[in-house]
Amino acid sequence: MSVNNTSDYISGDADNHIFYKTSANATNYVTNKTFADAVDCISEKITEKVNISFLPSFSSYDEVRRHFVEYPEIWESFLKLPARLQRELLDFCMGKHGLKVTYDPVFQRVFHPVKHPERLESFLSSFLGKKIRIIDILPRQGTQMVEKGSFVILDALVQLDDCSYANVEMQKIGYKFPLARTDCYVSDIIMRQYEWKRAQLGKEFDFQKLQKVYCIILMEQSSSEFHTAKGSYIHKRSSSFNTGIFRDNPGLHEEFFICLDIFRSNTHNITKYSTVLDAWLTFFSTTELGAIRELIERFPMFLPIYQEITEFVREPEELMHMFTEALYIMDRNTERLMVSELQDEVDGLKSRVKVVAAERDVFKLRFKGKIAEEIAEELSISVGRVKEILGESNQGSQN
């Protein structure tokens, strides 16, 4: 790739280009090949946008439909989608909004561990607050935590250059019990690390040789517990003692929960004060055309990524598979959530029925002339509870 540097413009190759009018000393050009260096140039002041092409550009819904009709099986699958997903797909093809990065195929393409390790490195560096480099991509073997129609749509487990491990999970819908599930994820990784180290070091193995595990959970829709911490969208959990010992050693694992929905409700625009982490969280959480345009203008390193996402239009089989899979997962998850919520409601009703039945029995026995102590003995409940139901105070019963 050639770079022509002039006093007014930065220009690059035709396949992956963006042109900006900028300051005279600007020398950096962003492509997917130089992504790791992009952070060094984002502080350049971009004063005038000249040309950006980052979304599909079909001219009408009819044109999009004609494109899909060329593939009979794809068109048949499209017709089976609910109207909401049909409109989402058509609007993306017309460039009205972006594609959700939380869709598994999109995320897997963007963060391909072999083709684009620098992207995950950039996100992890901005999140952990230190420059990191991925030295190994680890297989997702061991104890699998994936049910049929799982909420988890991304598993990325990597080893960093400080020998620690980072596990990134994307969840479409926040789990009802996220802490227990995260404990299982982290325990699985620590045990796998233990087995690797034992096999590698043999008799020289020492528990001190085990490395820290970072577990980062990105949630498109966070559960209600996270909304009780007003305005907070990143939550960190680590081990500690109530006595304060080992204060500088939080243990082998740290978990982070990132609530993308809360982030978007708090952060409405990308500005010159936005950080690289703000940029990544915006990328994860928005499909709005204006927000994407702001993101690219302030952080040009995202342009090649959006151009790559646009390639899905040229692969209708993959695009339709993604939407049908999303529909299946949403249906399964909605069903599971409804079952869980209904079970809670049933359990609550059962408890209420027991309370009402106990109150009924207390009044029936009182109507027969029995005193509180006799009722309590017959129903095997406390005298205090009987008096509470009857509305009697201890003082009143003694008089």
Q: Convert the pLDDT of each residue in 184-212 to its tens digit.
A: 888 888 998 999 899 999 999 999 899 99
- What percent of the chain shows pLDDT beyond 70? 73
31-54, pLDDT tens digit by residue?
333 443 443 443 343 333 434 467
What average pLDDT score do residues 4-33 get?
Answer: 32
Q: Which two tokens stand for residue 159?
A: 């080893």
Residue 306 lies in a domain: no
pLDDT surpassing 80 at residue 322: no
Residues 138 and 165: beta-carbon distance below 8 Å: yes
DSSP structural state of residue 45: -
pLDDT surpassing 50 at residue 235: yes
Report residue 170: phi and psi, to 5°: -110, 125
Rounded-to-10 torsion of CA 5, 6, 7, 9: -80
Same structural domain for residues 250 and 373? Answer: no
Same structural domain for residues 109 and 30? Answer: no
Same structural domain for residues 140 and 274? Answer: yes
Residue 270 lies in a domain: yes
pLDDT bracket for residue 155 (50, 70, 90): low
Domain limits for position 125: 100-286
Same structural domain for residues 36 and 63? Answer: yes
* Number of independent structural domains in the chain: 3
> Which of the pair, 29 or 117, is modelled with greater confidence?
117
Closest CA to 254 of 126, 164, 152: 164
Residue 25 neighbours by CB distance under 10 Å? 8
74-90, pLDDT tens digit by residue?
888 888 888 888 888 88
Same structural domain for residues 255 and 386? Answer: no
Same structural domain for residues 87 and 107? Answer: no
Same structural domain for residues 30 and 82? Answer: yes
Q: Which two tokens stand for residue 71?
A: 């593939």
Distance between CA atoms of residues 135 and 122, nearest Å: 14
Residue 396's pLDDT is what?
45
Same structural domain for residues 146 and 62? Answer: no
355-364, pLDDT tens digit by residue?
888 888 888 8
Rounded-to-10 torsion of CA 329, 123, 175, 233: -130
Same structural domain for residues 118 and 47? Answer: no
Q: How many helices and strands (H and E) does the chain possess?
A: 14, 10
Residue 348 lies in a domain: no
Distance between CA atoms of residues 59 and 49, nearest Å: 23
Residues 59 and 316: beta-carbon distance below 8 Å: no
pLDDT surpassing 60 at residue 111: yes
pLDDT surpassing 80 at residue 16: no
- Write the DSSP assignment of 318-336 as a string of letters: HHHHHHHHHHHHHHHHHHH
268-296, pLDDT tens digit by residue?
789 889 999 999 999 999 999 999 999 99
Distance between CA atoms of residues 197 and 135, nearest Å: 17
pLDDT bracket for residue 8 (50, 70, 90): very low
The single-letter code of the amino acid at 381 is: I
Burial 380-398 (b: 16+ CB within 10 A, else e): ebebebbbebbeeeeeeee
